Amino acid sequence: VQLQESGPGLVRPSETLSLTCSVSGGSVNTGHYYWSWIRQSPEKGLEWIGYIYYSGDTNYNPSLMSRVTISRDASKNQFSLTLMSVTAADTAMYYCARDLGDGYTLYHWGQGIPVVVSS
């Protein structure tokens, strides 16, 4: 399976960050897999944002829960991250990932996409 992130690299403060992960070699709505978003910054290190399960169930990091939504588009075989009201603290490399099939091992990763929040 291969994953590829896409989206704008620059977002204005207070606006909404939207990223998409395109999946090949697997389907986002079959196979009992967890499709996750993780971000990485020098300040916070690696931070798990949340996942969408193949069934559509979601689970988010409580630290971001009020601002984050993860959704999927099975027709395009993609899943997406939406993060509202961004600040400079949301500047990071954003990764999408899929588990190994065991429910927790983050095994397949995209290459990452850098996002800068700045006016």
Min dist CB 111 to another protein, Å, is 6
Q: What are phi and psi of 109, to 5 degrees?
A: -125, 150
Tokens 């829960």, located at residue: 65
For another protein (CB under 8 A), the number of binding residues is 20
Cα-Cα-Cα-Cα dihedral of 82, 75, 107, 104, to 10°?
Answer: 70
User: Which CB atom, from 84 or from 106, has the smaller least distance to another protein?
Assistant: 106
Is residue 10 a contact point for another protein (CB under 8 A)? no
Q: Could you tell me how far CA 1 lies from the centroid of its own chain?
A: 16
Min dist CB 25 to another protein, Å, is 16
Instruction: Extract the tokens encoding 11.
Output: 């977002």
Min dist CB 49 to another protein, Å, is 9
Binding region for another protein (CB under 8 A): 45-48, 59, 61-63, 95, 97, 100, 102, 104-107, 109-112
